[in-house]
Homo-oligomer: A and B are copies of this chain.
Amino acid sequence: MTAPDPTHRAPREPEELDSRKAAILEAIVTEYIGTAQPVGSSHVAQASGVSVSSATIRSEMVALERDGYLVQPHTSAGRIPTDKGYRFFVDHLSTPGALGPAQRQKVSSFFTQAQGGIEDMLERTSSLLSDLTSYAAVVVGPSHEQATVRSVQVVGLSAVRATVVVVLSDGAVESRTIEIAETVGSDDLHAATSALDGAWTGTALHDLDAVPPTGDPEVDAVCARAAEAIAGAGRSSDHEPVFVGGPSRLAGSFDAIETVRGVLSILEQELVVVSLLRDVLESGLSVAIGSEHGFEPLASCAVVVAPVHLEGQQAGAVGLLGPTRMNYPAAMAAAEVVGRHLSRHLGEDHFDPEGTSDAS
């Protein structure tokens, strides 16, 4: 009631834990991650790493709880790590973590055998990552923000339909099917192709308003249709390429069905997911625990992120979403390895002259 203790200890910044407290915290986090049960002092005493009696551990635990690393669900229960406790664990305690040989094998065979379009590739990567870790995975691909038009082509499909294909400088392709008048011939389409190609090449998708003036009204009509259709593409292509793998794993990660529902519906909103990963990466972290990412509906989740680089630039991210009591070392290792492989793969366009080298 009248304990002055907890108040006057705010301005301690570096917040070092002495090695025994750290060992105790580590033991608690490790066990809790494994069992999901509050950890009592005697369990910690039996765990390797500390060789003091449970009574001593108890007194350390009250200190850890006072400092915000642990909480008690109720009196006469063991302790559970707080977000802060997990944070200390990942920052100072957890050993780097590595993939098992089987997982390693999975990853490298996945990337050596990988083929197909980039979208498929990212999609399958998200499944891979989810398989590796048993958590839900998210893969965000490089955005087409600053890509410019490289080539435009109008291809007739039938007498009244044609497809406009736009190739972007990053290799992405946007296409739209348009209606055309029956009087439009293949030479008109060729004319439209070269007109559009000339007008658009070099500009970004979202600002190609200039419609090229041509003599032929047939051609102009086709160009107008094409411009209209592709302008829509420019507008809607803000939506990043994001893929979620293994959402069903979430049902295994949480036991409250409400939580599962909430998290799933978050994952359905691509924009939210993308900005979440981006925020975490921008703050220089690789993992955001519980409320750290400031996103209330995911307060019971932890997010592990690894960047994807493309030509030196950061061009996307891979992430894992699990409960705060997730296996951080394993998750971080998996995300990191997959992110690195994916970076290399995207950069080389699945051309891997070195074989499957695995630099650490």
Which A residues form the contact surface with B (CB < 8 A)?
115-118, 120, 127, 150-151, 153, 155-157, 161, 163, 165, 167, 169-171, 173-179, 229, 232-233, 236, 246-248, 251-252, 255, 257-258, 260-262, 264-265, 267-268, 348-349, 351
Contact = CB atoms under 8 A, between A and B. Distances in A.
Contacts of A153: 151, 153, 165, 167
Contacts of A179: 348-349, 351
Given A167-B165, A170-B157, A174-B117, A264 B236 contact: no
Contact of A115 (B116, B157, B175, B232): B232
A36 B349 CA distance: 53
Given A161-B349, A173-B173, A173-B175, 4 more contacts: A116-B176, A117-B174, A157-B170, A247-B268
Nearest to A349: B177
A173 B175 CA distance: 7
Nearest to A115: B232
Contacts of A248: 261-262, 264-265, 267-268
Contact of A163 (B155, B173, B246, B252): B173
A265 B169 CA distance: 37
Contact of A252 (B161, B229, B261): B261
Given A233-B116, A248-B264, A261-B252, A157 B178 contact: no
A179 B157 CA distance: 29
A349 to B, nearest CB: 5
Nearest to A114: B232
Nearest to A174: B117
